[in-house]
Structure 1
Amino acid sequence: MRNLKRSPTREDEVVLKLREAETSIEGKVFATDGKTPVKNTFVSAYSNDGQKAHGRTDISGKYSLKVARAEADYGNIWSISAAYKSREDSTCHRSPEVGCDISGTDEVVTAKDITLKEMGKLPAVDTDEFIVEKGWSRTLSDGSVIQIPPDALPTKGREAKIVVEPQTEELLTNAGDVLVNYGYVISVREKTGDKALIKNFNKGKEVLMTFRYEDSNVTGLGIKEANIRPAYFSEASNSWQPVKSFTIDKEANKVTFRASHLSTWHWWPQNPVNNPRIPLTQPPVT
């Protein structure tokens, strides 16, 4: 873990202080019955001061995450959650977060047990090819919709190929950002040449996306529907970035927004009062 501090002698000098990950957070993940351990479950954790860690459970359902103890108690509070997709029938599971305080001197800190909740079936991967000048529109198997307008892609190629892959595991969590159910990894490439076309869409050619959700996914994790908002994963900052403008249709269980790029997208509950990154003003909720 890195701490950046200014030198007392030079204002333009930054001192880099590293913290060793000498503490282990250990715990177990259980199936929906609260008794059966689940192996190969993806476990993600974050601390209040921005540390992150992740790993998978072993055959006994146990996980162990190496983390660094912070100087301030605030940074020693961790939140841990788990996600799992059945290899047999694509049923996906996710857990509520559990807290863990690693303050003290123990080298190993045991967290509360995690119990998975069934979130439904993971949709199939959707692949297609289309003509760039005509655009592309698709209603996915879960009712979500992606619409790419004509001539939106930054390419001289005539045809493109798109892959929309639902994903529940390997989605990292941020402080204050609780992931719900699954997200979508969306990639577009030139049909000839295989050049990636997910960024810098042509001006005025934003993609329209509508994500659907189930009431059971929201209430099952103790989430308020009014706090749902879409976000994309930024590889540059290794964090989820919220969409500022969006609408929620509570009757149809839909979140709709526009974007100038494609990447990994998800929707999660966010209380703007508790997170300074989220503006307090939002578009009207319908």
Structure 2
Amino acid sequence: MSKILVIGAGGQLGQCLKIVAERREITEIVFPAEQDANILDEAVLQALLAKEQPAFVINCAAYTAVDKAEDEVELAKAINETGAGYLASACAAIGATLVHISTDFVFEGNAVKLLTEDDEAKPINVYGVTKLDGEKAVAAILPAHFIIRTSWLYSEYANNFVKTMLKLGAERDELNIIADQIGTPTYAIDLANAIYDIIESGQKDYGIYHYSNEGVTSWFDFATAIFDISKTQVKVNPIPGSAYPTKAIRPPFSVMDKSKIKSTFKIKIPYWRDSLIACIAKLN
């Protein structure tokens, strides 16, 4: 397999890529420390890629604090757009292919339909805007790119909804969870496998792809499933998003169509609840 370099190796997806690389016995892969792969330093990125000469670069570095982004607009823009552009330029300089991770939050989410890669991206918060601008920067600079939009990412690593719910469920008797935001959770281990499948395919069908687990759920039903599978005794109340106002508006419906990634790369995608069972078993 061609040499791979992972940017943002310390984050949730970066850690999952490391675990899956070990399982798949992928040895030609580099996970540089953050200071050696600073997404905000173009010279550092150029030097790193020139030294390592990877055939593929996976960009997991992102500003993902959705509510905080409303206040930290410049930082979110620097990491999600400018940094993505720097990395695309560094890839172009050595002829590397970039696998860039994006989000369902590039969509407005007002239509109850499966969102395809061709649907208009119309983000409604700063995070979504900066991620979409990052996609555009990558596409403008580097033809050899795979942009993978994902949603509701969780795993055994870093901070995420599943780990937060398990913590709160152990501490409280009752929780109120939003029931009118609909999407699909994604187990980061499954996403990591899909990324390696794309790289190993050797195909050059560049462009945007959607990847989440199969199925559809709400945050309320997701939380209920977490407590059910982990046998956590806690009362969960469904509430409307309006009862829990956040700084950033969320898309009400962001279920993505995965037909393109499945047909192009022959990828089999697990159902969200099956993957959640696997994750909780690991956490236990």
**TM-score range normalised by the length of the shorter chain:** under 0.3
Q: TM-score by structure 1 length? A: 0.27
**Structure 1 or 2: larger helix share?**
2
Q: Give the number of the structure whose alpha-carbon radius of gyration is greater.
A: 1
TM-score normalised per structure 2: 0.28
Structure in which a larger fraction of residues adopt strand: 1
